[in-house]
Structure 1
Amino acid sequence: MTAARMRDDRERRPEQGDRDEGRYVDEDEYEEISAAEAAREGLRQIAGLTGKDPLGVTSVQPTDDGWLIGVEVVEDHRIPASTDLLGLYEVDLDMTGSLLGYRRTRRYQRGKGDGG
């Protein structure tokens, strides 16, 4: 992440306790994120929350409240790698990229995701 990007993030997302003239920061003051930014944030959140190795983003869907991001992760590394156990997670983000929730929707062996 570049220094300019980090500065922009700090300006866009005030600290939780920040107040402006005696009032709490309004969500309208936050900047909405793009689909690409939501995908990166969903990937980052799953890696941090589960401690698993993310393989990549599988889907990005806008919702009424933000974004629903699909992320595939390696649940269990096995030998050979073709027998790894994978998981598909859904990450729910609001319009500003803040985590609302996540859940694992599927668990499957590598190479047998759709066909079973």
Structure 2
Amino acid sequence: MMELMEISKKALPKAEEALNKKPESVSSLEKTEKGWRMEVQVLERKAVPDSFDLLSVFELSLDASGNVLGFKQIKKMRRGDLLG
């Protein structure tokens, strides 16, 4: 079984390819019966000030090796919403 950091490192470039957007961060990563579930935040729209940037959170299903099996958008929010 791959360690969390290995899965995260391997899955992030594949997530970027699947989403066609570069993930800014991984907000969760957990083992499932069939592999892994990962949530990432991606920048949808840059704004000034930064606290008004629009972010999307995506949940990705990964196989045991970190390959993306599927994904869905689960939330949109402003960056400032993370602070409060």
Equivalent in the alignment of 1:86: 55
> Within 5 A, what are the aligned runs for 1:32-111?
32-111=1-80
What percentage of residue pairs aligned between the two structures are identical?
A: 31
| RMSD after superposition | 1.8
Give ranges in structure 1 of 5+ residues lacking alignment: 1-31
Between the aligned partners of 1:99 and 1:53, the Cα distance in structure 2 is: 14
Q: Which amino acid aligns with 1:53?
A: K
Deviation at 1:74, TM superposition (A): 0.6
Matched residue of 2:7: which SS? helix
CA shift, 1:114, in A, is 7.6
TM-score (norm 2): 0.84
Quick one: which amino acid aligns to residue 60 of structure 2? V
Deviations 1:86-108 (A, max 9, x none): 01111111112222111111000
User: 1:56-90 CA deviation, whole Å, 9 max, x = no partner?
Assistant: 11111100000001111111111222110001111
Which structure shows the bigger proportion of residues in strand conformation?
2
Runs of at least 4 residues of structure 1 off by over 3 A? Answer: none
Larger radius of gyration: 1
Q: Distance in 1 between matches of 2:83 and 2:33?
A: 28
Q: How many residues align?
A: 84
